[in-house]
Structure formats: C-alpha cells, structure tokens
Structure 1
Amino acid sequence: SRPNEIVFLLILCGVKRGRGDAQGGGGVQRQLQQGQVLIKSAAALTSQRLRFLVVADSKKVYNELVQTSTDNWPQNYRDNVSFNFVPVWYPPDRLQMRNMFRECATERLFLPQMLPTEDALIYLDTDLIFMRPPEELWHHFYNFNEKQVAAMAPCLFHYGTSPTSKTPYYGRTGLNAGVMHMNLTRMKHNFPDGGWIQANMAAFDQYKEAIALADQDILNIVFNKHPDLLYELECDWNYRAFQCSNGSNHCPITDTQGTSIIHGNALTFVSSKESKIKAVYDSWRHHVLGAPLRQLYTGMRERLREVSKLKLPSECAHLKNIDIILTQRLSTYIKNLVTDSFTL
C-alpha cells in the first residue's frame, strides 16, 4: 500500500438477485446496503486515503457497490476513496471450498496467493460500522511483533459453549473473523507448516467433517496451533449483539471507552430483534456524507431513546449505559474535531 493509505478488503459473493433477497445470507440488496453503510462510516471519520479491494463474482455487483456508495458524495470525500475489483479465485483442487458456510466465505484464506503485490490489508465483513477513525484500526499493524501475521478480536461466545463447535480454537473463547488484519508479506514468506495456504488446507482436511463456520473455524484451528503468530485485538473492535445481552456487558472495555466497530452479524442490522444496534445502523444509513457529524450523533441518540421509550425488541436495552457504550467513540471523535479546529 502507498504511504498513509489504508487498505480494506470486502467479499461480495453469491449475491445473485432472487436468492434470499428479502433478508437471507445471500441477499444482494442487503449486502450492497451494508457495504455502502460500512464504506460511508469509514469515509466520514477520516481524512486519510482509503482503498477498498472488493472480491466479487460479478463485475456488475461490484460496479453497483461503487456507484451507489459514492454517487452522492461531496468531491472531497470521493477523492479520498478508491476501489479495485478482484475476481473470485480458488485453486483448481479446492473448488469444493467455495460453497462452505456462505459462498466464497473461505476466499480470504487464499489472499496471499491472489494478491501478490499487496503488502498488508484488513479484511472486513460487510455488516460492520466504524464508530472511530479507521486509521486507528490500521495502527494495530504497527503494534505487531516481528512474528505476528494477523490480528482478530476474541469471539467471547460459541467456541467451547455451543454444541456445534467441535474444532480446536484460539485462546479461551476463540476468534471472531469479521475483522482481520493480514500481513500478506509475512504470510507469503514466514509461515510454518509449509506456508500459510498449506497450513490452512491441512486444518481443513483434518477437521472438514466438524467445521461449522468455514473460514472462521479454519483460522481458529491454525492459530490454536500457532498462537504466537496472532495479535489479539480488543473486543471493542468487533462488538456484537450478544455482547450486550442478558443484562451484562461481555466486553467491559466498552463501559469506559465505547465501541470502536459494531458488527451486525446474524442479520442484526436488517432484522428487528436487536433494536438498539439497528438504531445505530439506521442512523448511519440515513446520514448524508458532508452533513455535520453532530447531526448524525444527535439523531442517533434520539433513535436510541425511542427504542427504550417504545419498548422495541432489544436485549441490549437492559444495559443501563448501552446508549453511551454504542455512541461514546463517535461523541469523542466529534469533540476532538471541535477542539482541533479551535487550536488551528
């Protein structure tokens, strides 16, 4: 990547119209809309250059994502964001892996081979929203020691608790693969067991009958064997609905600092089962890039209050400070912008 350029990678695959379009895992409109909101949230909170690599099985869907994401943006935002199309690729002897879990979910395992000229990138699920500047996520690369090749946040759930989890996993609670730093250079040259791809394929071959969550399970198996090669992100960089359910906050750091990335996995952003998190997503969805961020923040707090007032479905609403947990990082960023403008 170029100096001061942040590189993200998204996967848009199996999103042919008519396949689960209403809401299901492969719905094209859902994936496109979530991708648009993710890209908007990243662009709104930085002045640095962002480059999005988009792995897609359709140039048409890729073009639609780029156009609908940036068409109505002010020019200064458009100038800061670029996109590259990356066609889907699997090794000929691994084509059966394409349809595991969700179509192309395992594609990221092959990125070091697919992207020979890229040094490092951050893989992002499309169902994420930034609540603080994306460069602060990128800066974790600088905290890697000389051996670490990847970073992910703890899963805190599923591994070791779910009857469907039957594979080895990293640490106490496993890793969630929705946000993943990948030092591709190190993966290409310094990985044990014959190399990055070979290590992942060996994990797949050994446990394929037990794998439930495709690439995430495979990555957990690999880093269970090589924990010293993983840098662990804090849970605020991958905050999911279950983390604020049952009346307790399973990611305590957010009690004092707030969430950095909200992850709407299991259709949280598009269903009405967790209205607090959906309120944050809807606020970002309706935000017009270039409008004051203070306006976004006050609208978001109002939507969150409405959820409590109308008693809309929400496990997270049982947490007294949930509105602050979800919005504090955005509030801090806005306050810092104001302070900086006074000191210029």
Structure 2
Amino acid sequence: MPSLLKDVDALVYVDTDVVFLAPLEELWSHFYKMNSSHMAAMAPEHEDLATGWYNRFAKHPYYGKLGVNSGVMLMNLTRLHKLYVYGCEYNLRPDHCMYMSVCKAAEKRGVFVLHGNRGTFHSGKQPAFRAVYRAWEEYNLGQDLRQDLYYPMQRYLLKTSNTTCGKIHNAFLKALSSIVRLR
C-alpha cells in the first residue's frame, strides 16, 4: 500500500459489506490511540474462546488468542510492525451474536460499525443485520435522520427481537441515537 499511495499517511479500509452507524471520526480516533510502532488496527475475530473460529479450527498462525478480522482496518502507512486491537463495537459481525451476545462493549457503548459478512445484509440468516441494511437502503441522503433512518431502523429491529442478534437491538441503535439527538 505505501508504494501505491505515496502521498497518503493513513487510511481506513472496509469490506464492501460494512455499514457505519456512527460518524467515521469515531473510528478514526483510534489512530490517536496507536503508538509509534502500530501500523494497523483491527478488531478481534471473536470475543469468546468457546465459539471462536481461529482458536478452534485454524491450522495456521493467527494474532493473539482469537485472531483479528480485517473487514474494518485502520492502516498507518508510515509505520511498520505492531498491531493495535480495538473493540468489537467497531466491527460487529454476526459471529458476535449468532449464538449469544459476546460483544459486551457494543451492548454498553453501541455498535459503531456493522459488518454484514457472509451476505447477512441480503439474506434472512441474521434478521437484525438485514433490518439495519434495509433502513439504510431506504434512506436517501438529505432526508431527516431521525424520521427517515432511525425510526424505520428501530421498527425493523424490533421485529427481530426474538432472534439472538435481535435481542441486542438497542446496541444497533445506540450510536445512531446520539447523532440524531433523541431525548
């Protein structure tokens, strides 16, 4: 990357199946938390040893106890070597709630970046992820965030409350609610 983007010091890489539920500045702020040797930042692949994929199945080396997921990655192109790991609320995937909720930070602080990997935005496998995507799909830039994005998303998510990911529907709304200033 540094050889391709010679005039770029830092960038955020995201998979195409990612939806931001909070301002990008919230994720970008992790650049200021990185030390002088961190070249990249990612969230853990999983939060639970009992259900983590890498620690149970991987035949190759991986980072830390549970590995990391590169679907949402901060890259400082001027540095080398170490990895900075940020919380799962910046890369929440179906793995974090498919059996039970394991991303406690998202429940407490809210989901900042939602990663609909494995086609979950477009399938019925994880209705809560589909609900968030549907609300974004129907929203047109310039419309009222509260009326035309937040409230439809809330309605769609409430319909999923009987699913494992739907049980934490408030976490999906928490960061967005601070933007639309609900009171």
Tell whether the structures are fold-level matches, with TM greater than 0.5.
yes
* CA distance in structure 2 between the aligned counterparts of 1:263 and 1:184, rounded to whole angstroms: 24
* CA distance in structure 2 between the aligned counterparts of 1:112 and 1:166, rounded to whole angstroms: 30
Instruction: Give the equivalent residue in structure 1 for 2:26.
Output: 136
* CA distance in structure 2 between the aligned counterparts of 1:257 and 1:177, rounded to whole angstroms: 22
Instruction: Give the equivalent residue in structure 2 for 1:281.
Output: 133
Deviation of 1:304 (Å): 1.5
Instruction: Give the equivalent residue in structure 2 for 1:106.
Output: none
The equivalent position to 1:161 in structure 2, one of 41, 56, 59, is: 56
* CA distance in structure 1 between the aligned counterparts of 2:32 and 2:174, rounded to whole angstroms: 25
Q: Which has the larger radius of gyration?
A: 1
Letter in 2 for 1:293: L
Deviation of 1:307 (Å): 3.3
Instruction: Give the equivalent residue in structure 1 for 2:76.
Output: 183
SS in 1 for 2:38: coil
Deviations 1:100-151 (A, max 9, x none): xxxxxxxxxxx12221221111111110011111011111111111111110
The equivalent position to 1:250 in structure 2, one of 102, 109, 113, is: 102
SS in 2 for 1:262: strand
Deviation of 1:306 (Å): 2.7
SS in 2 for 1:291: coil
Q: How many residues align?
A: 177
- Is residue 300 of structure 1 aligned with residue 159 of structure 2? no
Deviations 1:5-50 (A, max 9, x none): xxxxxxxxxxxxxxxxxxxxxxxxxxxxxxxxxxxxxxxxxxxxxx
- Is residue 316 of structure 1 aligned with residue 165 of structure 2? yes
Structure 1 vs Structure 2: percent identity of aligned residues? Answer: 41
* CA distance in structure 1 between the aligned counterparts of 2:160 and 2:36, rounded to whole angstroms: 47
Indicate conservation of the 8 Å contact 2:14/2:71, yes or no: yes
The equivalent position to 1:270 in structure 2, one of 114, 118, 122, is: 122
* CA distance in structure 2 between the aligned counterparts of 1:307 and 1:150, rounded to whole angstroms: 35
Q: TM-score, normalised by structure 2?
A: 0.91
Instruction: Give the equivalent residue in structure 1 for 2:178.
Output: 332
Indicate conservation of the 8 Å contact 2:94/2:126, yes or no: yes
Instruction: Give the equivalent residue in structure 1 for 2:49.
Output: none
SS in 2 for 1:186: coil
* Larger RCO (CA within 8 A; separation ≥ 6): 2
Instruction: Give the equivalent residue in structure 2 for 1:103.
Output: none
- Is residue 147 of structure 1 aligned with residue 30 of structure 2? no
* CA distance in structure 2 between the aligned counterparts of 1:305 and 1:136, rounded to whole angstroms: 26
SS in 1 for 2:158: helix
Runs of 5+ unmatched residues, structure 2: 47-51
Deviation of 1:315 (Å): 3.6
Q: TM-score, normalised by structure 1?
A: 0.49
